Structure 1
Amino acid sequence: MIRYDLTCKNGHAFDSWFASASAYDTLERSGQLSCAVCGDTRIHKALMAPSVSEGAKQPARRLSEPGNPLEKAMAELRRKVEAGSDYVGDAFAREARAMHEGRSPERAIHGEARIDEARRLIEDGIPVAPLPFGPKRKAN
């Protein structure tokens, strides 16, 4: 097992354990790593220093615990969105259109849509809004 300090392109720092250095490389190349805070898949290894004991340490922050007010606000927004809507994955555009046309019951939904799909929804008067975070993905 090997532990790497990681960062995403949005500046969030976190760490994760991997079976080996090659296991990390394989996951990175295939885009299966994501930031635990924002879901960004643009992950890279951070500079690491050796662990040196200097007496009492502060408890390590868990990845599920936001570290600053912005991260806390984003985590709360994610929690509210996920609790108050149905996740429809990549069927978002199709489901939003079906609800707008009365072919599917209206309800709050969230998911993924390509930019061209989202643009067509907006052009057709279907109310949609981008979320400031991506879907949760397993890191390893």
Structure 2
Amino acid sequence: MIAFDLNCGNGHQFEGWFSSSADFDTQKSSGMLACPLCADVHIHKALSVPNVPRKGNQRAMLPSAVALPQADVTGPTPTATESPSPALVELVQKLARAQTDMLDNSQWVGGNFAETARAIHYGEEPDRLIHGETSTGEAKALADEGIAVAPLLFPVVPPSAKN
């Protein structure tokens, strides 16, 4: 894989990963690349420094720990110069409404999500929609057992943490 620093016609900078330089050229010429901030399809490579590793015999000469200067994090936070497209805003709002509707019709089971999902799947508890918390490994194990699971697109505050 190769990473390229990319710019769109509106000046947004972002990173793209491709299997090769030719893959980037193919995707660009076919119109498959678009800016993730504004959906502009006029994408070009930005100047970047290549990542050239040191030779094996030079690594031993490096000190074991190098103190790096600390960045100034007190400055202003950079913001996007343009707002997202109306279509993107509408899509995100629709997804948020769909998730809210689903949550309104499901039961919070907290950290017992995996156990409750299994109990429902195997008929030990009544069939119903649930949502809660589980680890990535446990979610994969549920999916491997044929139990339908999906991550929520937007963060959810547990009922016990609400004011």
- TM bucket (normalised to shorter chain) is 0.3 to 0.5
Rg larger for: 2
Highest relative contact order (Cα 8 Å, sep 6+), 1 or 2?
1
TM-score (norm 2): 0.41
Normalised by the length of structure 1, the TM-score is 0.47
